[in-house]
Every structure is written in C-alpha cells, then in structure tokens.
Amino acid sequence: MEERTGEAFELGEHLTVVGAKLKLGDTAPDFALDHLNPADQTMSTVRLADSAGSVRLLHVVNSLDTPVCHVGAHRWETLRAELPPDVQVYTVSMDLPFAQARWQTAEDVNHQTLSAHKNETFGRDYGVLLKEWRLLQRAVFVIDRTDRIAYVEYVTDQMQEPDYDAAADAARRAATSSPAMIRAGVT
C-alpha cells in the first residue's frame, strides 16, 4: 500500500498518509460506513451505491471533537441549504457512530455523519488514512452522478479548513450536468 510523506502535518508533526490520492475523473471507490440515526438510534450501513444517481459531497475530518472539524461540519450544514436538493452531504470520520450521533443532536446538525471506525478501508481507498493517528486526513470529495470524482481537495495542514466555495461550486456543476455530458467530459 502506498504511503505518502510530507502531505499532511499539524503543528510541526509530520504525518504519513496511507493510500494513493484520487484524481479528477477517477471512479470513486465504493464504501460501507456506519451511520447511527440520532432520532431513533437505528444503525445502518451506508454505501456509495445507496445514493447512485445523486451528487455526493464527502467532507472528511479527523474527529468531530476537534475545533476545525467541528467548524467544518457546521459550515457544510449551512452550505447544504444552498446546494441543489440532490446533492447529498456527508461528514466522514473514524469517530464511533454513537459519538457522531450525540454530536449531531447536541449541535443540531442534520446531514449524515458516517463512521469509518471498523476498519481502515475507506481511509486507504480514498488516500486519507493518517498512519500515526489512525484518523482521517481532512479532505473534500465531490462525486458526480456517474460515480466519478468531480472535485478533490486534500488539506495538508490539519489546522486549516478546506476551500468550501470551490467544493460547493463543483457540487453545483456536477448537479447541473447530465450523465451524458459528464461521460463526454463536458461540465
């Protein structure tokens, strides 16, 4: 498995990222992540295929219990109201689903939080697994209706926020492009 150095750090601590970086046009790797519904406490597995035909925005964070990740999840909660209705927004971390559900309830955040706590597959497949921390590197992925990567940002400094505007614009473009246009490379 590929390991990348020099691509993630926090306060002078250099981190090793496991997995290859995804690029524009790559097929998004499938995933199976846990979601605990805060309203009824039911656990479910969420897969990429569950939202086939939609645009998906994955906001990947270290942990919802950290200040920058907390701010980012709130920012996406606000921005999601400005996105087309078929754009699905998810915040993904390795936090336990129970902790994610408590956080969602306490913070009044309604977009789904997905937990990669069971194994490192999502982290490796999306190229965001921080080896030293066994957490995920801050990143944003927009996946178009044909399951292709339409936008990707890997945030190097874990104390910095992603470029929300660029990711939101990419999600809007992906939502207004037909699958035929996407396959033809026209967006």
Of the listed 18, 36, 69, 128, which one is catalytic?
69
- Alpha-carbon gap, residue 143 to 151, rounded angstroms: 7
Task: Give ∠ CA 21-9-150 in degrees, rounded to 5.
Answer: 30
Q: Which residues have a Cβ under 8 Å from the Cβ of 144 and sit 6 or more positions away?
A: 55, 150, 174, 177, 182
Are 97 and 43 in contact by the 8 Å Cβ rule? The answer is: yes
Q: Is 69 a catalytic residue?
A: yes
Which of the residues are catalytic? Answer: 69
